[in-house]
C-alpha cells in the first residue's frame, strides 16, 4: 500500500517535529493541525508557515500574536481552496494521507 516500508515512521517523525516546533508558541491544536510545515531561519525564528489550505484571518492573527512578530505575513498554503472547519475536520486525515503519499511517490520516482 505504501511506497516505502518506513512511511509510517517518517509520518510520525514529521508530526512529532512539527509538534515540538509549535510547543514554544503554544498554538491551539485546532490551528496546529492545519499546518503542513514551518520553515525556520538559522536563528530558529519563523520565516514561513505552510498550511494545507489558506488559514482564516483569525488563525493568521493567532499565529502572529504567538510569534510576537506584528508584521509577519509569510503564510502560504499547499491548496488554494478555502474550506470550513467542518470540511477540514471531515477530510483532514484523508487529505494528509493522500498528500504525503503523493510526495513519497514523487520521491520514489527520482
**Which is nearest to 21 in space by CA: 2, 1, 3, 48?**
48
Low-confidence ranges of the chain (pLDDT < 70): 1-26, 102-110
Give me the residue spans of the domains in the chain.
Answer: 7-109
pLDDT computed for residue 56 by the predictor: 94
pLDDT computed for residue 32 by the predictor: 85
pLDDT computed for residue 12 by the predictor: 47
Amino acid at each position: 500500500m505504501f511506497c516505502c516500508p518506513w512511511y509510517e515512521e517518517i509520518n510520525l517523525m514529521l508530526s512529532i517535529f512539527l509538534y515540538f516546533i509549535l510547543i514554544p508558541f503554544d498554538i491551539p491544536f485546532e490551528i496546529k493541525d492545519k499546518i503542513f510545515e514551518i520553515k525556520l531561519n538559522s536563528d530558529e525564528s519563523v520565516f514561513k508557515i505552510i498550511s494545507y489550505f489558506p488559514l482564516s484571518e483569525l488563525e493568521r492573527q493567532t499565529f502572529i500574536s504567538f510569534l510576537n512578530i506584528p508584521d509577519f505575513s509569510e503564510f502560504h498554503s499547499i491548496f488554494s481552496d478555502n474550506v470550513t472547519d467542518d470540511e477540514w475536520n471531515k477530510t483532514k486525515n484523508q487529505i494528509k494521507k493522500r498528500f504525503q503519499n503523493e510526495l513519497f511517490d514523487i520521491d520514489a520516482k527520482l
